[in-house]
Chains A and B, each alone.
Chain A
Amino acid sequence: MTTPPSQTPEPSVHIDPYERGWIIAAIVMLVVFALAVAVASYSLGIQLPSPEARVDPNTISSTGPFANPGLRELAPGRYEAYILAIGQGWYFNPREITVPAGSEVTFYITSPDVQHGFKLEGTNVNMMIVPGQVSSLTRRFDEPGEYNWVCHEYCGTGHAAMYGTLIVTP
């Protein structure tokens, strides 16, 4: 009976080398993807549409800035746009906004009734509109042109007709 003392014990669970390889590859991929998202969001300046404020959806269209929604000039080249997404009639108030090229616009959007979406075509302005909460994003518009925005969250039978336009003049 001469047992070599340094003999390594058999692993309790046998894992096939191929399986082990794929498990490791899957974990590495998860880590790489998570890092890619983190790096991209910081370097490209991606902002999450954060809840700007909580409001009462019953009084929002009669008090405060949403009583007269639309575009306002904060300072030269600096604008804020208050938009109400209205489900009773399926439209955005206002339907059209015009700003000069090179201006920075902060969107404040909320809804007095149901959930809506706001996607400005060709830009990264894309957010969910929740009643009782103001969604906000800021973007600079250097390229003149017409940008359409659409409601991209199903909100009822008139959902498909719910859109508006941002006009950037040269």
Chain B
Amino acid sequence: MAVQAATSGRGTDRRFHWWWILLVIGVLLVAGVFAFAIFQPIKVLPRMRLAPGFTLVDQNGQRLTSEDMRGTVVLYNFLYTGCGDECDRMNATMQEVQQRLHDTDLGGLPVEFVTISFDPANDTPETLQRYAESLGADTNQWRFATGEEDRLKQLIGGGFEAYYTPDGAGGFQFDPTFVLVDGWGIIRGKYRYQVAVPDADRILRHIGVLAEEVQKATGPNKLIYEAAHLFLCYAP
């Protein structure tokens, strides 16, 4: 009798431990997922939607297409050369981003800049060329482009969702907008509201986040980055 009691006692003990270990593992897993979602150790940029495809003409009269931009992070903005203060502010942001990118290590990630003019009637390639010179732009990485009026409306308004409309006095009314597109042709950032942090700071930080993801999201790490996308761990 004594022997039987002892064996059965040991048996229940063993089963007891086994359940406890499973429970602890389960709780740790759930806690880990919650901790990841709450503390967000990894930040990514949202994948907003596909960037629109385009065929435009650049400041040299060369064809510039969205396919040429594959594999390159591109910062787009939209303006017309006849505008005043608003475009000066946008260009200053563009120049600041380019200048500060020189001192940033992006692990070899190529970054380019494209300014699209929505005023093709006045902004011919020659005008854009002169505009680029007046800004002192390095046209190897900062290109100026335009196209046909109807297509531009579809591209800038419908595709990039940057609003503009003729103001009836030869100029345009528009929202100063920057759009960040990654090497896969996915829109990852849009900057157009007045917020506390200047656009240049946010854009630079976001390009850094993007470069880090491209560099590190390989092999098993890719799963962790996908989890960051799933739990909306977006960089502010």
Is A1 on the interface with B (CB-CB < 8 A)? Answer: yes
Contact A64 B158 (CB under 8 A): no
Asked if A10 contacts B8 (CB within 8 A), the reply is yes
**Minimum CB–CB distance for A152 against chain B, Å:** 25
CB pair A54–B195 under 8 Å, yes or no, is: yes
Residues of chain A contacted by B192 (CB below 8 angstroms):
64-65
Q: Is A55 within 8 A of B194, CB to CB? A: yes
* A75 interface hit (Cβ, 8 Å): yes
Give complex CA distance A73, B194 in Å. 22
Pairs across A and B, CB under 8 Å, 25 listed: A3-B3, A9-B7, A9-B11, A10-B12, A12-B16, A53-B195, A55-B193, A55-B194, A56-B195, A56-B196, A63-B194, A64-B175, A64-B194, A65-B163, A72-B165, A73-B157, A73-B165, A74-B157, A74-B163, A75-B158, A75-B159, A76-B154, A76-B158, A80-B163, A106-B161
Inter-chain contact A134/B153, CB cutoff 8 Å? no
Pair B161/A80 contact, Cβ less than 8 Å: yes
Check B134 for interface membership: any CB of A closer than 8 A.
Answer: no
10 pairs of A and B residues whose beta carbons are closest in the complex: A75-B158, A9-B11, A74-B157, A75-B157, A12-B12, A9-B8, A63-B194, A78-B158, A53-B193, A3-B4
With A9-B15, A65-B175 as known contacts, state yes or no: A59 contacts B8, CB within 8 Å.
Answer: no
Q: Say which residue of B7, B12, B157, B175 sits within 8 Å of A78 (CB atoms).
A: B157
In chain A, what residue has the closest Cβ to B164?
Answer: A74
Give 1 or 0 for each of B223-236: 1 = CB within 8 Å of chain A CB.
Answer: 00000000000001
Q: Decide if B1 is an interface residue (CB 8 Å cutoff).
A: yes
The smallest beta-carbon distance between A161 and chain B, in angstroms, is: 29
Query: Residues of B within 8 Å of A, CB-based: how many?
Result: 24
Residues in A whose Cβ lies below 8 Å from that of B3 = 1, 3
- A residues lining the B interface (CB < 8 Å): 1, 3, 7, 9-12, 53-56, 59, 63-65, 72-76, 78, 80, 106, 134
CA distance A12 to B19 in the complex (A): 11
Q: How far is the CB of B57 from chain A (nearest CB, A)?
A: 20
B16 to chain A, nearest CB (A): 6
Shortest CB–CB separation between residue B21 and chain A, in angstroms? 15
A11, A12, A74: the one contacting B161 at CB < 8 Å is A74
Across-interface contacts of B7 in A (CB, < 8 A): 3, 9
Complex Cα–Cα for A73 and B7 (A): 80
A55 to B195, CA, bound (A): 5
| Shortest Cβ distance from B2 into A: residue | A1
Q: Among residues 17 to 34 in chain B, which have CB atoms less than 8 Å away from a CB atom of chain A?
A: none
B162 to chain A, nearest CB (A): 8
Complex Cα spacing A94 to B31, Å: 46
Contacts of A11 in B (CB 8 A): 12, 15
Across the interface, which residues of A come within 8 angstroms of B16, CB to CB? 12
Which partner residue on chain B sits nearest A110 by CB separation? B193
- Supply 4 further A-B pairs (C-beta < 8 A) apart from A12-B12, A12-B16: A65-B192, A72-B163, A73-B165, A75-B157
Q: Please measure, in the bound complex, the distance between the C-alpha atom of A73 and the C-alpha atom of B156, giving whole angstroms.
A: 12
